[in-house]
Amino acid sequence: MYTNKRRPNYRSDRGKGLSWARKCAASLLAVILVVTAAPLIEPVGHARAASAAQGTFTQDQLDGLAYLNEIRAKVGVGPLELDARLNQAAQAHAAYYNRYHFEGLDAHLEKEGTAGFTGETPGDRGQAAGWPNTSVAEVMAFGNSTTRKAIDALLDTAYHREIILDDSFKVVGIGLQDGTAVINPALLTFEESSREAKVYPYDGMEGAPVGFYGNETPNPLDRFDIPYSGGIISASTGVRIASYEASITDSTGREVPFYREFQGRTVFLYPKDVLDGYSVYTVKLDYVLRDESQPRHKTWSFTTGKGRTLKKLSAQYNELVLNPGSKLPLQVIATYNDRSFGTPKTPVTYSSSSPAGLKVSADGTLEGIKAGSYKVTLSAGGVKGTVPVRVFSRLKSKSYPAIQPTAAQDTAGHADQKAIEWALRSGIVSLDAGGRFHPDEFVSEAQFLTMLLRTYNIDDQAYASKKEKYSAEGAYQVAAERNLLLFSKESGQKSLRDKPINRYHAAGLIASADGVNFEFAYAVDYVLIHQYMRGTEGNQNWTFGSKEFITRAQAAEILMNLKSKMPQLVGAPVSITSEEKLPKNLSSPEVYEKPQLGNQTLIADFHADGTLQVEGQFTNRPNQRLEIQVDRPEGEIEEDEILEQIPVQTDSSGRFSVTSSKAYPIDRVNVFLRTEEMTYYLDVQKGKMNAMDYEED
């Protein structure tokens, strides 16, 4: 997976693998987690206790315990008891954190020799306070005036919620120091909890959260590459789940789409959009436990609390352009007070500033009537927004005379012969006096621009002056009127018009012809996503071949493909199109052939027979033992998300190559190379190859 970032001209985009910490659920294993400023939380493992020591408790501790036990009772798990020793450990660590403010999961660790040190881990700190073992878990929440508020923040998360609602824990310590809350559940002996699924939001709950915004470390949404989801729904059992099926429906019976995460004993469901406020949702869960053959069933409903508020209405782009006589569906984007966005859930009405020049239908379809600049007003739920729309002047058209491909003397057997013949029949190119096409000669910017216009039967010569001083004068006049992105214009060097055009600049020109004004780097992403151009080595930005110059034959192939996918040439708006308006990234990144190994390269080849080969080179990690982890992609319902963990030994140059020990019976896998500092990630489909060249900035 690759991140989009601003890239300078002529620089290949080197994709960066997303790094994220995965929570490993295991009984008696200390797991560290954190929740952030809304507020920030962190858990450390599963621990349980059977007895509690008495002591003097603060009112906040008693109130927090009572509230947590109230929630646990509604969920169907047993109560916790306060323990003075664990309280002491929690209070001491809250004070320690406030002194040093370690970030991320390090918030749970203390360094020996520093002031206030009481133990490196939660278990060490529990023992130092008199607790008899190291089976102490820990969650933390920041910026809370009371423990009760911290518990509310913890319940809104995934992993932290799982720990504080774990039926195995019987004893807890609570600490609150200057807004930092530390909760330390613990256990003395392991006791199997109920096999029935314990769920949250619990059955009959009112005021359930409508959304989750990633305020947790590790952030569970990183694995889905999304900034927010609907309120998290979870179900936990006392033993491992072998398989499950789940569904969410709203009050009208409509299915609610969701992402899923399976952590052995717990299933997490993340609705793909923020839930509606004050609405009833019903969840159905069918599951089979590992040591049982008959499925168990759980159905429950809950009601959400206050929903998000609509704050802004906008269109798919900041400014829209279209041709006279053409239509353009207006895609309205609603932005809410929680910074989420999506399709409005309330009806939208539309009005044009001048219906005589620009019509807008009741369903939001724009129709260009007359050249000019207009505004469309959007209204929904008392909120209004405006979208500037430009209707270009009608282009002068021309049918270019076809040239019979048989007349060409130098194209037979060429790799792009089919495209060359198309270009000749379309009349967008010509032969020289000797009947030669010159397929392997580079095309200039002026030649490529002229070929592009003629692909759409635009009469570029009609725009030239009577005293035409430059052969492509008319083409550049059309480009100026349509605001097409040309490197000669952007650089201010007209001499570049007659220099070979590279793929990077061709992508910018093509994207601008489709109604957007992206900078060149984002234009590459745009044409790849729309399949207007194909990369030379793969379908990702860094395998696009940006620096390569385009030959006449390649230009014909590009334009033949473009004509089949982009129905008309429009032009670009004046305002720059934000990179945030890029369509979604490619869902199936791949490379067409194995790239050369660089300083930090990872390659995954998922063979058609289901076996996986992973190789790479990380010159900064010679003679090191690493690990490849192969996971099922999100959405697969199986016993375990982890398919295989493969040890890796790099050689003296940091190079390695490993093959899976078995064939994977699925169509797609996620591949992780784990190091102490970073996790490198690829996803790859069966029968394809993906690669990442990771380059430090």
Six token digits for residue 395? 């282009």
3-state secondary structure labels for all residues of 121-185: CHHHHHHHCCCCCCCECEEEECCCCCHHHHHHHHHCCCHHHHHHCCCCCCEEEEEEECCEEEEEE
User: In whole angstroms, what is the distance from residue 341 CA to residue 350 CA?
Assistant: 19
Query: What distance lies between CA 548 and its chain's CA centroid?
Result: 29
Residue among 227, 218, 98, 230 nearest 162 (CA): 218
- Bond into 185 cis (ω within 30): no
C-alpha span between 430 and 428 (Å, rounded): 7
Average pLDDT over residues 354-377: 98
Q: DSSP characters for 169-238? A: --EEEEEEETTEEEEEEE-SS-----SSPEEESPTT-EEE-SEE---SBS-GGGGGT-S-EEPPEEEE-S
Q: Determine which of 524-533, 568-577, 629-638 has the lowest per-residue pLDDT on average.
A: 629-638
- What's the mean pLDDT in 570-584? 91
Give the residue from 574, 550, 331 showing the smallest Cα distance to 452.
550
Between CA 425 and CA 419 the distance in angstroms is: 10
Helix or strand or coil: residue 433?
A: coil
Q: Are 334 and 288 in contact (CB under 8 A)?
A: no
Nearest to 573 by CA among 642, 510, 517, 639: 517
Predicted confidence band of residue 3 (pLDDT cuts 50, 70, 90): very low
Instruction: Report the alpha-carbon distance of residue 252 to residue 279 in Å, rounded.
Output: 10
Average pLDDT over residues 545-560: 98
Selection from 128, 133, 127, 119 nearest residue 188 by Cα: 133
- The answer to whether the beta carbons of residues 375 and 330 sit under 8 Å apart is no
Look at residue 502 and give its three-state secondary structure.
strand
Give this prediction's pTM.
0.81
In a 10 Å sphere around its CB, with 0-12 CB exposed, 13-18 middle and 19+ buried, how is residue 503 labelled?
buried
Mean pLDDT over the full length of the chain: 89
For the cut 90, the answer to whether the pLDDT of residue 624 exceeds it is: yes
What whole-number distance in Å separates Cα of residue 278 and Cα of residue 304? 5
- Give the residue, 318 or 47, on which the prediction is more confident: 318
What token pair was written down for 452? 């592009």
pLDDT at residue 33 tops 50: no
What does the pLDDT look like over 276-303, one tens digit per residue? 999 999 999 999 998 899 999 999 999 9
**Nearest CA among 437, 431, 435 for reference residue 414:** 437
- How far, rounded to the nearest angstrom, does the alpha carbon of residue 187 sit from its chain's CA centroid? 38
Q: Does residue 359 surpass a pLDDT of 50?
A: yes
Q: Which amino acid, one-letter code, is at 196?
A: E
Confidence tier at 327 by pLDDT (50, 70, 90): very high
From first CA to last CA, the distance across the chain in angstroms is 17
pLDDT reported for residue 523: 97
More confident residue, 370 or 243: 370
How are beta strands 296-304 and 206-208 bridged, if at all?
parallel
Q: Which two tokens stand for residue 630?
A: 């192969």
Q: What is the DSSP letter of 458?
A: B
Q: What angle do CA 29, 230, 254 make, to 5 degrees?
A: 125
CA gap 684, 603 in Å, rounded: 10
Per-residue pLDDT, averaged over 103-108, amounts to: 86
Residues 59-71 pLDDT 10s: 999 999 999 999 9
Is the pLDDT score of 15 beyond 60? no
| Rounded Cα gap, residues 84 and 431, in angstroms | 91
3-state secondary structure of 268: strand
Residue 50's pLDDT is 34
Q: Could you report the per-residue pLDDT of 174-225, keeping only the tens digit for each? A: 999 999 999 999 998 777 778 899 999 999 999 999 999 999 988 999 878 8
- CA 53 from centroid of its chain's CA atoms: 47
Tell me what pLDDT residue 634 has. 60
- The closest of 133, 158, 211, 130 to 42, measured between CA atoms, is 158
Q: What is the DSSP string of 28-79?
A: T-----EE-SSS-EEEE-----S--------HHHHHHHHHHHHHHHHHT---
Buried b (16+ CB within 10 A) or exposed e, 334-358: bbbebebbeebeeebebebbeeebb
Least confidently predicted of 163-177, 522-536, 605-619, 670-684: 670-684
Over residues 313-324, the mean pLDDT reads 96
Work out the average pLDDT over 574-593: 85
Written as six digits, the tokens of 110 are 């203390």
Q: 37 pLDDT exceeds 50? A: no
Largest CA distance in the chain: 102
- All residues at 6 or more sequence positions from 234 whose CB lies less than 8 Å from its CB, including other chains: 158, 161, 162, 199, 200, 266, 267, 268, 269
pLDDT for the residue numbered 584: 74
Identify the three-state secondary structure at position 20: coil
* pLDDT > 80? residue 4: no
Neighbouring-strand partners of residue 674: 627, 679
Give, as one character, the DSSP assignment of residue 686.
T
**Is 418's pLDDT higher than 70?**
yes
Q: For 516-530, how does the pLDDT look when each residue is reduced to its tens digit (9 = 90+)?
A: 999 999 999 999 999
Is the pLDDT reported for residue 587 higher than 70?
A: no
Residue 664: count other Cβ atoms within 10 Å of its Cβ: 19
Q: SS3 for 587?
A: coil
**Spatial contact of 234 and 266, defined as CB atoms under 8 Å apart:** yes
Q: Which amino acid, residue 667?
A: D
The amino acid sitting at 137 is A
Average pLDDT over residues 307-326: 96
Listing DSSP states for 565-579 in one string gives H--------SSPPPG
The alpha carbon torsion through 527, 529, 531, 536 (nearest 10 deg) reads: 70
Distance from C-alpha of 428 to C-alpha of 434, rounded to nearest angstrom: 18
pLDDT of residue 450: 98
pLDDT band for position 553 (cuts 50, 70, 90): very high
Ranking 316-320, 608-612, 677-681, 687-691 by mean pLDDT, the lowest is: 677-681
Q: Residue 469 — pLDDT band, cuts 50, 70, 90?
A: confident
Residue the block writes with tokens 């774990």 = 166
Pairing of strands 171-177, 81-82: parallel
State both tokens at 163: 């720990």
Buried b / exposed e along 99-116 (16+ C-beta atoms within 10 A): eeeeeebebbbbeeeeee
- Mean per-residue pLDDT, 491-512: 97
Whether residue 307 contacts residue 373, with contact meaning beta carbons closer than 8 Å, is answered with no
Distance of CA 77 to the CA centre of its chain: 35
Give CA–CA dist 230/338, Å, rounded.
Answer: 12
β-strand pairing of 625-631 with 668-674? antiparallel
pLDDT beyond 60 at 411: yes
Task: Name the burial class of residue 94, with classes exposed (0-12), middle (13-18) and buried (19+) by CB atoms within 10 angstroms of its CB.
Answer: buried
CB atoms within 10 A of CB 326: 14
User: Coil, strand or helix: which one is 98?
Assistant: helix
